[in-house]
Amino acid sequence: MNFSTVVPLTHIEKKITYDDKILCLGSCFAVNMGEKFKAYQFQQTINPFGILFHPKAIEKVVEYAVKGYEFTAADVFEHQEIWSCFAAHSDLNELELEDIVTKLNVKLFDLQLALKESNFITLTFGTAWVYVFKETGEIVANCHKIPNVQFEKRLLNYEEVVASYIKIVELIRSVNAEAQVFCTISPVRHTKDGFVENQRSKSILCSALHQALAMLQDAKVSYIPVYEIVMDELRDYRFYTADLIHPNEIAIQYIWERFVAYYIDESMYAVMKKVDEVQKGLNHRPFNPTAEQHLKFLDTLIEKIDDLLEQYPFMNFR
């Protein structure tokens, strides 16, 4: 007996290994998946500019990185004694002008490098609703708590989103012709926009994405139905956090297991298992740290770490 409708996934020809580099860009769900890669010690870069919710925000930072943009004082502003940038999340905010400009350029370099070197790039799009700063007409990535009256809220139309998707991929291809690009729609519902408004947004994102993929005709750019897995397979509030909006750890783990089965090379499973054992061992808190049994446990743990580092020197268990 089946208790849910299973959303089919498709195997890819070249799957992810520990030799690959991975870039995750986009909404908070991109962070959820990126943290899984990080926990299993894959070579990953997660949202150098912080969480970016809509396609235009991702497009802007990718274009900046590809074209070698340099941030200056003109790109930042001070509000309530905090320096921010409309192209970045508040995670990059600083108390001093010089510090934020430096940080933005360091993060831009990180993104440039990741775009060029990554073998796999995941793009997660959260919403088609955007805020336009009235003073400049700029579509912002984050409002940084500036009063709403200074922004116009609007819904990107279908054509704008298709064009943005295509531009993002073309920019990536201009510096990296071989990377496998995974596109997903975030399952996080933006209910603050309104329930109907969220559905309008997700509909535009999804239909525009499939149109863009059809127009691109790039075999290495594919869609992963994460949104559909949460909406159809996990259609129950027990798979959400207390806010009833974000997928909880059970849902994230389920999606991760589906992802691993289809997109990570089976030869990596044994390594992932050993990494997981090490991570759990490092988090273990003994009742008696000097007990002989615990000391033996530590010796075994050190052996596992040494074995992993010998094979994969980039891993970091500190």
Looking at the structure, tell me whether residues 206 and 106 fall in a common domain: yes
Q: Are 20 and 10 in contact (CB under 8 A)?
A: no
Question: Is 3 contained in some domain?
Answer: no
* Contact yes or no for 84/76 (Cβ under 8 A): yes
User: 314 lies in which domain range?
Assistant: 269-318
- In a shared domain, residues 106 and 78: yes
Is residue 315 located within the same domain as residue 168?
Answer: no
In a domain, 2, yes or no: no
Crossing angle for the helix pair 55-66 and 158-175, nearest 10 degrees?
Answer: 30
Residues 91 and 126 placed together within one structural domain of the fold: yes
Rounded Cα distance, 112 and 110, in Å: 6
Residue 284 has a pLDDT of: 81
209 versus 282: which is more confidently predicted? 209
pLDDT digits (tens, 9 = 90+) for 206-227: 999 999 999 999 999 999 999 9
Residues 276, 235 share a domain? no
Q: Please say which residue of 222, 241, 264 terminates a domain.
A: 264
Evaluate if residue 135 carries a pLDDT over 80.
yes
Say if residue 174 is in the same domain as residue 300.
no
When pLDDT is cut at 50, 70 and 90, the band that residue 296 belongs to is confident
Contact 120, 22 (CB under 8 A): yes
Tell me the CATH number at 202. Answer: 3.40.50.1110
Higher-pLDDT residue of 317, 1: 317
- Averaged pLDDT of the chain: 94
Do 135 and 251 sit in the same domain of this protein? yes
208, 311: one domain: no
Number of domains the chain contains: 2
- What type of residue is 41? Q
> Both 78 and 159 in a single domain?
yes
Q: Are residues 246 and 284 in the same domain?
A: no
Q: Do residues 274 and 254 share a domain? A: no
Residue 295 lies in a domain: yes
